Structure 1
């Protein structure tokens, strides 16, 4: 044990060397040893007899202040020898521990020294990626592995997995600007790669057969409860806009019913979705482009086409749901649906029908604003609800904290508040019922307001019956699954009886929402019994029995294209394809519906690439038929046409770097001068006025090329305008131009065919651009301004 000696004397049993560094493994052990030594008596050893060598032993005080020399001095007589005291057993034990600790320290120091001299070996990339899988979620792990793999690979040689492309595409549709910012820091696919990956799947109008073909193999593995499904369909307002699809060789934006196209610009998009009745899943299975003037027969045909397609892949249709638009009411009337018989048969299978419940609750509120309501023989007035809300506003602690003046004031033009389901359900809620009872009890509302309070409570409970999502039984409300033994049945039969005698006072014609509630109540009661007796389903979550999933789909489609209230037909198709990225689509916070329970089934990467030649071969009937009349271009149009001819030739020469074609199509440098009146626009359009460079860098067509393109223009104008709805219109125009035997000596027949194709493609683009501008000019500027102000 280290001790304090005077002079240079050393203890015979201890070493004075104190330079060893304690290793972390033994530091606590050594500290305990020294602590025990401090509490023991001083160690006595054989000492010299001379006064100069006499010392007095004291244990070393670790981490304490030093003791003064006067207190340590003990007088020792020369004649009196100090007695030799042998070490105790405890001291011997501590000495052994100290020796072991010093050996351990030495061994660990040697290991550290050897490790510092040893060359370090880095783990391989594969080891890092496999190790990261234990700490990261699956999608994050795939993205991490992509960063490790692609960090050292050139951007032109990177090959991306489907999972990374799905993830990147979802970010791009949320915000292209954010995606471009992330690409500066992360290795992600280019926008061109994402668009090419997105375009490998084509969603043609009509039923999406390639999606149903994929589902057919998956449905065969499902249990019966998961096969039970609901068909939901609704129309979405779209912008009148025409776009040319070069892949499909057709114009997108006209009325397209899948098997028939019309020469009418579409302004409605009909979308059909199938979703689970018991299991929470959903999938868009078809879309159609319609117009306001179309009758209900188009929707009726689409409905039965969907029913047949769903039945053919093994799904079991239990319910059909839609809103109460005029076209839908006409369809339901043709099916023979009434509140006494809320079902119909398809292929000998009973299918129940229900109106969308959120639309019904809004309709009740909207009609109550305009008319008094007779409920259970008593009068219900909207004015009592308005007075309750206004009385609650000045209070610091409100009786109905979620209700404000916007719930009762809808006079602002262009306001979307009247369409929000949340505002209707918060007014017709239990909280409003309690507030009205309190105000009536203290005298702020008259006793005649009690029927209105009871009406509010009844419709709150009725909506809860159709909006149950909890799995456990709730004794305080009706928001739990309905079953044959639940207390929903008695309440629903009571409400059905009350609705049969209810009416709006002074309304010229009773609104369809009253009959709609009776249809829904009886359909739900029958459906609950049918599900248990036929398929053994004891309970039913009614939140799955509405079209919220489809409404949220429309919200996401609008969000993906700059929060556009009216996306184009092409944007609708693109949005529906992007929704195949099931888990990555996010519902906007301003949506009219809550987040639905369902999740999409099909992911974009799971679908095979679709062919585009099949539709053109089926619908395109070859060469277009033309009249003999040909329009002549005026003097001003000739100038603009001559300028655009140079643009077409530039695009052709960029793809065909041929000297023969260049000589045939472009004016030589020595001949670049203004000789005709139709050169004026190109002359003034150029940026150079130097002698010999009057036309700058513009390409001037030769007279032969100009006359050939002029003939093509006449054929195009005569063949395109009457037939924009035709599939394969570009191919038909090319064949019509080829049959005219227009003289244009290019290097080969293939070059001439490519030249004609380029002219037709760009000519279609220009025509549609002017048509879209003309349709946009017809929209009221005042309405556009009000929309922008509303968004702000």
Structure 2
């Protein structure tokens, strides 16, 4: 609750998915597993450690963060769906890589012993979900032993839960007009209809996560679908737009340490989405090494797959000093100008022009010779992210 209290009022949040609904769910929302997994996640643990390092939260919050991290790793191992996942714990238990399988099994054994030490209240209260989770852990180990005996190379633990069944049969029932008991012919036609029309994904309000089976979900529709306008990159900015005067370039505005950490993490995410191919251009945007040297890189290191206790960003990217200043200009420009332009037109183009006129943009533009439009795309993507985080009308920035 203290983490949510300090984080909710910020423009850039260290735990952006955390809402009051997670902490005080309604009776119906308590049945949604998705809300529980979002609380027991690496992002919440990283935010808690960051606030503890800055003396905003008490030092005891580190123990809570360590417990959340253990639960996050356990849930990742119990929901693996690929042998080549970037996150180590999300990789399938495989005989091809014995080191991965041994570490996963060791984590399951340690988690079983750790859950056995839990005491709720005065010890007289029995929580059935804890016993069910321990039974699931032992069941996965037993299934893997049988797979080894049968000669199976790997085991995707997500295939053992009921989410894929709920997704498939739920969508088939909807396509058939709420058929609770279809005959074989109706089931076959419904299954073909669901697969061909790319409908095997669960809706956003569903209790279970979407099944990422590439053989089923990866099928495209037989007819070509036009690309949505919001999914396309921002069109080329026209210099003849004289609808409203351009906003002035904002002077230097200081940001606190929490915002600086969030900006560093967002900057690395924007570079990842930019898909820069040229090595020289990538050096201008990303730091060559992956070691945490500044206080603004702590959140990125905490969110990496290498773990909260290690100072290595892993698969994430650390922005260069110039790119960090450019993203900082995006943050300040949006905070100063966006609210005053809410009822005007072409807000996105005008905000991007304001950022491109700043000094960091000029320095980066001279180095990005192979990708001259990268800065425009980064600024536009950042401006589109902000209305979602602040619950503003997204159509104004699309």
**With structure 1 as the length reference, what TM-score do the two structures score?**
0.24
Higher strand share: 1
Higher helix share: 2
**With structure 2 as the length reference, what TM-score do the two structures score?**
0.46
